[in-house]
Structure 1
Amino acid sequence: MLITLTYAPEPDAGVDATVLGHLLHKHPAKVQSFTAPVGDIQVFYPEATSERCTVAVLLEVDPVGLVRSKRFRGDAGALDHYVNDRPYVASSMLAVALGTVFRTAMTGRSDSYPELAAAPLPLRVEIPVVSTRGDEDDLVRRVFEPCGWTVSEQRIPLDEEHQDWGPSRYSGVTLTGRVRLADALRQLYVLLPVLDDAKHYWVGDDEVGKLERAGEGWLTAHPERDVITRRYLLHQRSLVAAAEGEGSAVSSAPSDAAAPLRVLRADAVLDALHDTGAARVVDMGCGPGALLVRLAKDRSFTRIVGVDVDARSLERAAMALRLDQASDAERARIELLHGSVVYRDERLRDHDAVVLMEVVEHVDPSRLGALEDAVFAGAAPPTVVVTTPNSEHNVLFPALAAGSFRHDDHRFEWAREQFRAWADEVAARQGYTVELRPVGIEHPEHGAPTQLALFRKADASVPQTPSNRAASPGTPLTPTGSTGFAHGQDAQAVSGRRTA
């Protein structure tokens, strides 16, 4: 599949068009090759004169290799995974290729030409083949024109020799306009998968963050924001709710928050840990490692343990933490364990704090007693931090249907008094004190979107500092190692899906 981008400055601008190479951080006189999970990428310049400069990105896809790859989402035995349009239609694979080769340019950084990098430029983008799947009419124009592009779309006939058969669902598209280069690249990164309404990889929680970063500065006010969000997130209701309903960069709801709720939530957890002086922390239901990455960057945390029942989530957490590239000291500092929040685990004792961030609501109410026993009586840390959605706030999320939960896997969502009653009862039974804190912008009637409980053991002493604590024993387990803990419904109790 192919895409070209052309820069032709106005004659009186006094700019050499080959400056495009500096802005893209790719030399016009070189053919550069890259290898990515999606295939082999070639970057070259078909023309590079002072008046006009064009860069081309050619992605050569091995469709059979994609099917056989573990990254490919779907049934490898299905025929349509082998006979399809993936090798030539602009899609998520081309978006990944653009992100791979133009990562720096997408940030808008240029040390050589900062003024040009920050300014709208006369650009032309040509995409020989795009697919517009689904029932959305005139989608190419609707998603690109509000970004400042003039759109020329030419439908490709189903068969050139049989025009009476009508057009196919494929088009050749040309975009022209004055757009900042970084914005143009980020718009293509988001909108190519939106047009195709499919992705070649599993869409997880981290896609919301990708959409926020790539959509910064242009997506919030886009009139087709809702369509773009739904299709980019493959219509997964929980992810769409997370993107649209939490004051994020793509939210349609007014918000004074400077960051999306998931960021504010993690900040609140870190603040609670710092308030108690915790240095050895367990993240129960760690999922793909969003909180673990934050903990790892803070050197005040001397030991970090992530626990999840889902082996794939632990593998993703290891990748997010880059444990394969970490030093021996860092690998000893961070440990990933396979386990469940509803079973006691001796490995989790002797830590300063246990965090359950957006975990309890994934546990069946009948198993909350087992969670209490495993965490408060079994691990028994001096500090426990629990966050969970405030169900009263749900009415303020426009993308959330009345009476719905924020995530398909939520077994319940507590109002503020329900959470307070549970927290008070647990604290009384287990010998803790508890402090409740709001997380996010508080509504005068419905409260904050997230509620946090900070439990402190009533007789807990100040946690030891790294200077007077003995080195922790044990060798980190591999992320895929199994302890045979959780099965059936219990297995869902620790798989941290932090989108709500």
Structure 2
Amino acid sequence: MQISLKVYGEHARMVSHLIAKNPHNLYERKEKGGLVRIVFTKNEEHEVQILFFVTVDNMELTKNQTNFSSITHYINDRESAVSSIFCSVLRKAVGTALNGKPKDEFKEWVNYSFPLEITFGPLSTKLTNHELAELFEPLGYELTIENGKVLLPKSFAKKSSAKFITLKAKQTIQDCFRHLFVLIPVMDQYKHYYIDEKEVDKLKRYGEGWLSSHPKRNEIIKESLVFSDLIEKSRLIESKPSEEKQAPLTKKKSLNQWRYEKIIETVKKLPHNSRIVDMGAGEGKLTAQLGFISGIEELIAVDPSEREQLKAKKRIEALVDKPDFLLPTFKWGSLFYYDSELEKKDIFILCEVIEHIDENRLGKVFDTIFTKYKPYHVIVTTPNQDYNAVYDMNEAKRHSDHRFEWTQQQFEEWTKYWESHANYKVQIDGIGEYIEGYGYPTQMAIFSQKRGG
């Protein structure tokens, strides 16, 4: 994890006093969470270059982890990606700059705007390039984004999600660091530590003088504080009462909710729908909604993750006293392990599941579903890769765990293959907002047994 800072102009050398570091010495300190190194790679009269490098303590990465049964506990990008971890380890070392409190003789330079260039990375983010620009450009930065270079075949290299960001602007050193310490965690969308009222204080302190007027203020605050009660307590999100009375804000429906509603609607219309299996049920969001469908006699939620099933059970516990709710049965299971108890049900649902399976293993999975389990109907949803262009994603996948994402043509070819090789007919549909030339964000296939099956 590293940040490179270049400062230009006749007063460039003043930056060493503003960060309180000797340009002739390597700064190396162990901090809670890792090792910080700061080195001046160039210290000339009109140009100073400084490298801030953090090596994370691997043990620190495991703290506050709850998913100890997941392989991502051991394999992830946290050790190398610029993130909240990077900021928390570096914070003390650049505290003089963040707080704007150098020695008295240099205080006049705290408010001096230097021509500077900042490069940082690798950054793992789900934000599009346009969304990244919306964070920095209002603050006066010129933004350049490069995808990380990886030593992989070209087909994989194009899909690298790691980004290196370069910012150019005329800024004070204090503002520069405050912008980064607020916006890097927003871009990374991952907090490795417990979020409490201290995070509110930090956001107010580092956001002073710029956050209140930022056009993406509300989004920045929500990503920084995560929890609604903290957001409310912070009183940082301002609303205009007069405008609210005239036109109340309506929360945009999430794509997940689009999926659940479409699946529920589809299930209700199918002729056989009393015994349902939610394969890959995860934390039970869809299962919870399926439980309210009138006429259901059996609902089975299957998932290979014990942690996700615990979440699902907790979600369901809040619904057990609701009228007309069918309590689901939870089963540990996987599409790779045959379970005779799942045979001959009415509906199998695989909601955003297949893209998490290696493409070359799908044949075996669906052969088992169609020839051994033999449900009356199989509902499959998966991302539409064509639609990724709408999100400014080019060839990138929507989630780092996706093994593949299919175009509309690929999805149709796959469904037609099974229509000709299994005793099922297929109907293709879409979910979400339709855009001409790109289709729907989510593709859906409904397989139904042919007569005589």
- What TM-score comes out, normalization by structure 1 length? 0.46
Cα distance in 2 for residues equivalent to 1:78 and 1:67: 14
Q: Give 3-state SS (helix, strand or coil) of 2:13's partner.
A: helix
Q: Which amino acid aligns with 1:6?
A: K
Of 211, 214, 219, which residue of structure 1 is paired with 2:211?
Answer: 219
Q: Give 3-state SS (helix, strand or coil) of 2:50's partner.
A: strand
- Contact map agreement 1:132 1:139 (CA 8 A) in 2: no
Match of 1:120 in 2: 113
- Contact map agreement 2:114 2:171 (CA 8 A) in 1: yes
Deviations along 1:382-405, one digit per CA (max 9) or x if unpaired, are xxxxxxxxxxxx99xx9999xxxx
Of 91, 103, 106, which residue of structure 1 is paired with 2:98?
Answer: 106
Of 157, 160, 170, which residue of structure 2 is paired with 1:168?
Answer: 160
Cα distance in 1 for residues equivalent to 2:138 and 2:249: 22
Of 231, 239, 251, which residue of structure 2 is paired with 1:240?
Answer: 231
- Contact map agreement 2:133 2:143 (CA 8 A) in 1: yes
Of 78, 81, 86, which residue of structure 2 is paired with 1:89?
Answer: 81
Match of 2:326 in 1: none
Of 185, 191, 207, which residue of structure 1 is paired with 2:183?
Answer: 191
Match of 1:251 in 2: 237
Deviations along 1:365-412, one digit per CA (max 9) or x if unpaired, are xxxxxxxxxxxxxxxxxxxxxxxxxxxxx99xx9999xxxxxxxxxxx
Cα distance in 2 for residues equivalent to 1:222 and 1:30: 38
Aligned-residue identity in percent = 26
- Contact map agreement 1:95 1:189 (CA 8 A) in 2: yes
Q: Which amino acid aligns with 1:210?
A: K
Q: Give 3-state SS (helix, strand or coil) of 2:237's partner.
A: coil
Q: Which amino acid aligns with 1:239?
A: L
Q: Which amino acid aligns with 1:238?
A: D
Task: Give the C-alpha shift of residue 175 in structure 1.
Answer: 0.5
The 1:129–1:140 alpha-carbon spacing in structure 2 relative to 1, beyond 3 Å, is same
Q: Give 3-state SS (helix, strand or coil) of 1:189's partner.
A: helix
Cα distance in 2 for residues equivalent to 1:112 and 1:45: 22
- Contact map agreement 1:157 1:167 (CA 8 A) in 2: no
Deviations along 1:122-178, one digit per CA (max 9) or x if unpaired, are 111011311212x65623211111111110001225665314663322211101100
Of 118, 128, 137, which residue of structure 2 is paired with 1:145?
Answer: 137
Match of 1:46 in 2: 41
Task: Give the C-alpha shift of residue 236 in structure 1.
Answer: 1.3
Q: Which amino acid aligns with 1:94?
A: F
Match of 1:37 in 2: 32
Task: Give the C-alpha shift of residue 114 in structure 1.
Answer: 2.4
Cα distance in 2 for residues equivalent to 1:190 and 1:196: 11
Match of 1:3 in 2: 3
RMSD: 2.6
Q: Which runs of 5+ in 2 are unaligned?
A: 252-453
Cα distance in 1 for residues equivalent to 2:24 and 2:152: 37
Cα distance in 2 for residues equivalent to 1:98 and 1:171: 20
Q: Give 3-state SS (helix, strand or coil) of 1:216's partner.
A: coil
Of 96, 114, 132, which residue of structure 1 is paired with 2:125?
Answer: 132
Q: Which amino acid aligns with 1:66?
A: E
Task: Give the C-alpha shift of residue 37 in structure 1.
Answer: 2.1
Q: Which amino acid aligns with 1:252?
A: E
Task: Give the C-alpha shift of residue 42 in structure 1.
Answer: 0.9
Cα distance in 1 for residues equivalent to 2:149 and 2:48: 31
- Contact map agreement 2:129 2:145 (CA 8 A) in 1: no
Match of 1:230 in 2: 222
Once the two structures are superposed, the pairs formed by residues 27-426 of structure 1 within 5 Å of their partners are 27-63=22-58, 65-69=59-63, 72-110=64-102, 111-133=104-126, 138-156=130-148, 160-163=152-155, 166-233=158-225, 235-243=226-234, 246=235, 250-253=236-239
The 1:62–1:98 alpha-carbon spacing in structure 2 relative to 1, beyond 3 Å, is closer
- Contact map agreement 1:190 1:215 (CA 8 A) in 2: yes
Deviations along 1:221-243, one digit per CA (max 9) or x if unpaired, are 0011111111112x311122223
Match of 1:339 in 2: none
Moved more, 44-53 or 106-115: 106-115
- What TM-score comes out, normalization by structure 2 length? 0.51
Match of 2:17 in 1: 22
Deviations along 1:257-288, one digit per CA (max 9) or x if unpaired, are xxxxxxxxxxxxxxxxxxxxxxxxxxxxxxxx
The 1:104–1:200 alpha-carbon spacing in structure 2 relative to 1, beyond 3 Å, is same
Task: Give the C-alpha shift of residue 115 in structure 1.
Answer: 2.7
- Contact map agreement 1:23 1:117 (CA 8 A) in 2: yes
- Contact map agreement 2:62 2:73 (CA 8 A) in 1: no
Cα distance in 1 for residues equivalent to 2:155 and 2:13: 41
Question: How many positions carry a matched residue from both structures?
Answer: 247
The 1:399–1:3 alpha-carbon spacing in structure 2 relative to 1, beyond 3 Å, is farther
- Contact map agreement 1:6 1:54 (CA 8 A) in 2: yes
- Contact map agreement 1:157 1:163 (CA 8 A) in 2: no
The 1:400–1:22 alpha-carbon spacing in structure 2 relative to 1, beyond 3 Å, is farther
- Contact map agreement 2:32 2:89 (CA 8 A) in 1: no
The 1:118–1:238 alpha-carbon spacing in structure 2 relative to 1, beyond 3 Å, is same
Task: Give the C-alpha shift of residue 31 in structure 1.
Answer: 0.8
Cα distance in 1 for residues equivalent to 2:74 and 2:144: 31
The 1:39–1:189 alpha-carbon spacing in structure 2 relative to 1, beyond 3 Å, is same
Cα distance in 2 for residues equivalent to 1:44 and 1:400: 50
Task: Give the C-alpha shift of residue 203 in structure 1.
Answer: 1.0
Match of 1:432 in 2: none
Match of 1:277 in 2: none
Q: Which amino acid aligns with 2:83?
A: S
Q: Which amino acid aligns with 1:221?
A: S
Deviations along 1:24-49, one digit per CA (max 9) or x if unpaired, are 11110111112222211111111111
Which structure has more relative contact order (CA 8 Å, sep 6+)? It is 1
Q: Which runs of 5+ in 1 are unaligned?
A: 256-393, 402-500
